[in-house]
Chain A
Amino acid sequence: GIQVEQSPPDLILQEGANSTLRCNFSDSVNNLQWFHQNPWGQLINLFYIPSGTKQNGRLSATTVATERYSLLYISSSQTTDSGVYFCAVGINKFYFGSGTKLNVKP
């Protein structure tokens, strides 16, 4: 299967700080999504981004498919951004990374 590596595994931020999360994957894919899992376990889609750049409020994402990586940018972080961020890639099925656990402190 496709290997998905996310970094960093853990991240602690002060409220208001910016951060960049990275997702590397081992093979060509036609689908890439970023999810946020809140402390209660709910996974929420953030971006569908197999290539290019997208922005949604304080979040943006960039995928460079030819180099097999994607970046998730969080600006002006808030405590509600805390949780685990997952990258999922695939063609016929999704492969998930181990996630980046983010803790935003007030």
Chain B
Amino acid sequence: ETGVTQTPRHLVMGMTNKKSLKCEQHLGHNAMYWYKQSAKKPLELMFVYNFKEQTENNSVPSRFSPECPNSSHLFLHLHTLQPEDSALYLCASSQVPGARRDTQYFGPGTRLTVL
């Protein structure tokens, strides 16, 4: 248990569906992250939120839409995805991004399959 939870743990969706991934952290952190992990690839940083403000968008297609209503919650809204978007989506949090002693804590991930 890392203090970061994600729901759902598994999701199967069609290319025309709209779904959302949810992440919640119970660590009192101020920064939250979305990562994508595809088979045989390094983790790819997608978005960074610091104190609810988006500070990084790593050229992510607009079919992925993040939302951070407060420092404890992070969502990833999905629509018109492609089969190549199938991956493990990981949420993480840290006290403050870029700080010298910043440690990231990860949630268990959502395994997404796009049919």
**A contacts, CB < 8 Å to B:** 4, 30-31, 33, 35, 40-45, 48, 50, 86, 88, 91-99
Contacts and interface: CB of A to CB of B under 8 A. Distances in A.
Contacts of B105: 45
5 contacts: A31-B102, A45-B103, A48-B103, A88-B43, A94-B104
A50 B102 CA distance: 11
B97 A43 contact: no
If over half of B's interface residues share one DSSP class (helix, strand or loop), that class is named, otherwise mixed; here it is loop
Contacts of B56: 93
B100 A86 contact: no
Contact of A33 (B42, B98, B104, B109): B104
Which range holds the interface residue count of chain B? 20 to 34
Contacts of B109: 41-42
A86 to B, nearest CB: 7
A96 B98 contact: no
A48 B101 contact: yes
Contacts of A4: 42
B44 to A, nearest CB: 8
B2 A93 contact: no
A23 to B, nearest CB: 12
Interface in B75-115: 88, 90, 92, 97-98, 100-106, 108-109, 111
Contacts of A91: 98
Contact of B41 (A92, A93, A98): A98
Given A4-B42, A91-B98, A98-B41, A41 B108 contact: yes
